[in-house]
Structure 1
């Protein structure tokens, strides 16, 4: 069974529920879990440290206050009643750590043998025995009292309490670890749920994409609401599918028209050659060969035009170079030898970016068509208008009806007057011209004229193309 058949069945949210290493949802959840563990661990360590510090600082503050208060008491009497319920361990010792007085809870065993020096009279610490750990503060009796009462022998007051369970064991660490685990698991679940909700349209898009085939490009992807990346992707893909459907339809129509246009000359050629073979004595071979050559020449012209049109649609265009369109129009107008006379007017310095050979072909085709249909003259103008170079080719012939002004640019479309004036034409000339102009980011169309046909070519001027580079 292949990999496709192994995919899981979508769950309630339309997404696979099994964790897969190559799933975006799984990867995002895994990354979120790892980052959550790292972040919450750092927070937990800091929180653990802060809690321990706060509890210890509170004990140290209470024990220090109690110890310094007890220094003023009579050291040979019993300790005064303790005013706090937390700090209940009080001891008064000499320099040999002998307990001279103590609270009932403290006992006779010294809490610690820590003896602060004169320059640091108050110190804090934790002393542990097998039975318990005590958090305490030890205060050295001031030198004046020591000298008066004990002939200079240092004495010390200890105040403390049994270390709270949250500090004595690993309870705080376990609680912190449990919190880290729960928070990380919650963050991972949120990531899994959010990504699943976000990618739900992707499953629908994938399912619909699997249904789209070359035979039916009319299907479109479901577009989720909103303007997020997935919605924009769906809309862009639908626009691409629409262009693809249009291109495929054009290709099919073009192939149908090509086959129709080639079928007639091929059938005629086949018939004449078959007659020559079957009836050699009744058919003039010289005439048959001449007719076959004429038909072959027309087919050759049609095929060449088809190849040119196909290259315009598929081949990457050659780099464009600056061209003086006015000079090019004047040269082509002056080179027209047959047909009606051509009068040209061109503005200087009409610089455009383009392929010179292709633009010459466009102008030559427009001028030849105009001369073929003109009665007495053809007028050509090349001027500047609104950032474009505009070329008008006008003849004084019968003109083209408004309903046919777009049809004549379709492949193999030839009007009756065109067939009469040029029986051997392929009907691809204007289609090729429009393709070339479109590749130059321009337009080619037929506009209203007082008499005859008026072809209008517009190409962006060179300075217009370069202007955005300076903004």
Structure 2
């Protein structure tokens, strides 16, 4: 790089030599390189004239020893500073450019983030409105397969499940109200009649009638409690149960009747479950079969792959295919059931299915030549082997 000023300075700061321009001015600067460096840059601004960019070079020790008896000498090279660097306008312009660039970047970021999060805001607003007033609302479906689109699909799935759950609860509450209204109304009429016509109503007969009504009311409430307990709490404390032994115990407790009950065994499958709950399921199915059977009931226990299969089949009228799922809904009763058991609550089969589901199994109605065939399937309990235990 060409220098406008060249000077040779000794350790005392005295000008020893220089070019024509350098000899006419004092030493350019008093700045010296640090001990661990030979070169240092500096800016010198004399009282008059423009500022200079100065480079200070310490002579090599061997050169200083040869030429100057070991005394340190420095070579100063100076060059006029360009006008752009000599005025504050460059710094101001650079600072202004940085500020403008930062503002543009912030605005662009705000626009991009706002556009990206706008669907999230719309989803959140729709979710708030749906959960507050209208569960039928759905969030706008975002295009693509990114995280926002997945969030929209998950939100709609959540709203679908929430709407179904709330609708089921409302329907169940309506059904419960309807079922409880009949015995309560009947009880009210019976008591009102006894009070209004004391001379015409025989007290003991009225008490027996109201007692039967309260027993029906109590049965409905007990079935409701059992249904909600199984549906919301799931399976109770479970233990290993021999399914054949469980069936034999229930059959031995049944009262004698004209219906022949035959037990068929194929193996002795073991299941994990609640004895009380599974006995209640079996009691419901047997009571239902005894109401509808003409002459006999067949109960079979077998194992199929990894499932225990329990079948209760009667030789009655059977269940139409279109009603085989409806009968497991709470309070649904077919005409035949109402005729044979007018005091029933319509919750026995609903409780039975929920209990089987809570035990990891199922309860269905399958085809058969005559009558109704109820089939329970439960997971078989496998005794862990010694290798598994180790």
Classify the TM-score, shorter chain.
0.7 to 0.9
Residues 305-314 or 396-405, more deviating: 305-314
Partner of residue 355, structure 1: 274
Which SS does the other structure have where 2:198 is aligned?
coil
Q: Is the 8 A contact 2:266 2:303 kept in 1?
A: no
User: 1:283 aligned to 187, 190, 201, which one?
Assistant: 201
* Alpha-carbon distance, 1:429 to partner: 0.4
Structure 1, unaligned runs of 5 or more: 1-83
* Alpha-carbon distance, 1:447 to partner: 0.9
Deviations 1:192-224 (A, max 9, x none): 223211221233234333443677432222222
Deviations 1:33-65 (A, max 9, x none): xxxxxxxxxxxxxxxxxxxxxxxxxxxxxxxxx
Partner of residue 49, structure 1: none
User: 1:402 aligned to 309, 321, 326, which one?
Assistant: 321
Deviations 1:140-171 (A, max 9, x none): 59569947xx8x58695725223756888988
1:185-264 matches, cutoff 5 A: 185-212=103-130, 216-264=134-182
1:265-414 matches, cutoff 5 A: 265-315=183-233, 318-339=236-257, 340=259, 341-345=261-265, 347-352=267-272, 354-414=273-333
Which SS does the other structure have where 2:333 is aligned?
coil
Structure 2, unaligned runs of 5 or more: none
* Alpha-carbon distance, 1:247 to partner: 2.7
Q: Is the 8 A contact 1:390 1:458 kept in 2?
A: yes
Distance 1:189 1:408 in 2: 64
Q: Is the 8 A contact 1:115 1:140 kept in 2?
A: no
Q: TM-score by structure 1 length?
A: 0.67
Residues 207-216 or 298-307, more deviating: 207-216
* Alpha-carbon distance, 1:185 to partner: 4.0
Distance 1:442 1:115 in 2: 91
Pairing 1:162–2:79 present: yes
* Alpha-carbon distance, 1:301 to partner: 0.7
Distance 2:178 2:72 in 1: 121
Partner of residue 342, structure 2: 423
Inter-CA distance 105–205: structure 2 relative to 1 (3 Å threshold):
same
Inter-CA distance 180–356: structure 2 relative to 1 (3 Å threshold):
farther
Corresponding residue pairs, total: 376
Distance 2:72 2:132 in 1: 100
* Alpha-carbon distance, 1:421 to partner: 2.6
Q: TM-score by structure 2 length?
A: 0.79
Residues 173-182 or 199-208, more deviating: 173-182
Q: Is the 8 A contact 1:350 1:383 kept in 2?
A: no
Distance 2:32 2:280 in 1: 108
Distance 1:220 1:464 in 2: 48
Inter-CA distance 127–426: structure 2 relative to 1 (3 Å threshold):
closer
Q: Is the 8 A contact 1:336 1:342 kept in 2?
A: no
Deviations 1:222-275 (A, max 9, x none): 222233333333323322322232233333333333333333333333333333
Pairing 1:137–2:57 present: yes
